[in-house]
Amino acid sequence: MTQPAVIRRVIPRPARELPDAAARPGGMWFYLTTHKKHWLRETAVPLFLKSEHLASAVKPLRSIGRYAVDSGGFSELQYHGCWTRSARQYVDDLRRIWEHIGPYDWAAPQDWMCEPIMIQGGTVGNQHFVGTHLSIAEHQRRTVANYLELRELAPDLPIIPVLQGWELPDYERCVALYERAGIDLSREHTVGLGSVCRRQATREAAAIVTTLAGYGIRLHGFGFKTLGLAKVGHLLASADSAAWSTHARHRPALPGHTHKNCANCLPYALRWRGRVLAGLPTSHHPAPEGSSHA
Ligand SMILES: [Zn+2]
């Protein structure tokens, strides 16, 4: 039986709101995932970066476009089976990023992914997972508790809640956990959807996204790829993707590019983004905007 998360003082949400979906080009924010923080001053296209890559910025780096911050939970849990950074350390990083780089749209919490391999551990391809050996209910309890702690430590920062689970009823229980803690997810500007990226194009994932979007929750899809976006992209408020880099790794470099392939290349990422957005079913997305390289 799932224990309700500890109920704490309900922290008011940060005043900073994202513009309404109708005001956004194409209705969905689409963040390109990269580990290259200097892209922040080279393109106005939304970017998604891990906090560990941003927090290392010693010199101020002003972003010219929007960006969001990933907490790096996937690798933390994959390699350590737990979070090695405390909530306080993470909030310190988030504050440094805000001051040095500029306001971000949102930052992910230190959530606990619920893929079976994250929990049980094992090897897929050349990727090894140590496993947390906890239950889905415990992952959810920790995810909600961490969100409440981060909000308490940093009510001024736009840290988002993330829904974790594996099957649809798990996600519904997670919505209820937030509710019991005083968080109405339909009032949050963005809610992350966890543990879906490896099965995003499946019927199961479509049912999860459809149900949660039906509750009026503005979902962010973590780690989406072309097929997943084509299936459920119209139900997401935003998504991030690193699929461009994998795409580039298996192809020759663009004409005139001197590197072996374009897996770390901004012009390639922008072209890929333009093609993906143009191909979405309900699309009225424009071509990639705002690149000094385009
Ligand atoms: Zn290139």
Q: Is 289 a domain residue?
A: no
CATH code at 77?
A: 3.20.20
Instruction: Calculate how far, in angstroms, residue 61's C-alpha sits from the geometric centre of ligand 1.
Output: 23
Q: Is 278 a domain residue?
A: no
Q: Which of 54-63, 69-78, 198-207 has the lowest mean pLDDT?
A: 54-63
Q: Mark out the alpha helices in 81-135 (DSSP H runs).
A: 87-101, 116-120
pLDDT at 21 over 80: no
Q: Which pLDDT score is estimated for 130? A: 98
184 neighbors 191 (Cβ within 8 angstroms): no
Instruction: Calculate how far, in angstroms, residue 263's C-alpha sits from the geometric centre of ligand 1.
Output: 7
**Average pLDDT, whole number, for the chain?**
87
Instruction: Calculate how far, in angstroms, residue 269's C-alpha sits from the geometric centre of ligand 1.
Output: 9
Distances from the Cα of 248 to the Cα of 132, 219, 267, 281, angstroms = 33, 27, 11, 24
pLDDT tens string 176-229: 999 999 999 999 999 999 999 888 889 999 999 999 999 999 999 999 888 888
Q: Is 50 a domain residue?
A: yes
Q: Which pLDDT score is estimated for 147? A: 98
DSSP three-state, residue 288: coil
Euclidean distance between CA atoms 8 and 159, whole angstroms:
17
Tokens of 65: 């476009």
Range of the domain at 97: 30-241
Domain count within the chain: 1
Instruction: Calculate how far, in angstroms, residue 151's C-alpha sits from the geometric centre of ligand 1.
Output: 40
Instruction: Calculate how far, in angstroms, residue 178's C-alpha sits from the geometric centre of ligand 1.
Output: 44
Confidence class for position 79, pLDDT limits 50, 70, 90:
very high
Instruction: Calculate how far, in angstroms, residue 293's C-alpha sits from the geometric centre of ligand 1.
Output: 11
Q: Is 257 a domain residue?
A: no
Return the higher-pLDDT residue of 289 and 185.
185
Q: Is 229 a domain residue?
A: yes
Instruction: Calculate how far, in angstroms, residue 200's C-alpha sits from the geometric centre of ligand 1.
Output: 28
CA nearest to 118, candidates 127, 108, 107, 105: 127
Torsion sign across C-alpha atoms 192, 197, 201, 206: negative
Instruction: Calculate how far, in angstroms, residue 194's C-alpha sits from the geometric centre of ligand 1.
Output: 31
Distances from the Cα of 108 to the Cα of 32, 38, 49, 126, 293, angstroms = 15, 21, 11, 27, 29
Q: Is 22 a domain residue?
A: no
Q: Is 212 a domain residue?
A: yes
pLDDT tens string 227-282: 888 888 889 999 999 999 999 999 999 999 999 999 999 999 999 998 888 877 65
Q: Which pLDDT score is estimated for 9? A: 44
Instruction: Calculate how far, in angstroms, residue 250's C-alpha sits from the geometric centre of ligand 1.
Output: 12
Q: Is 210 a domain residue?
A: yes
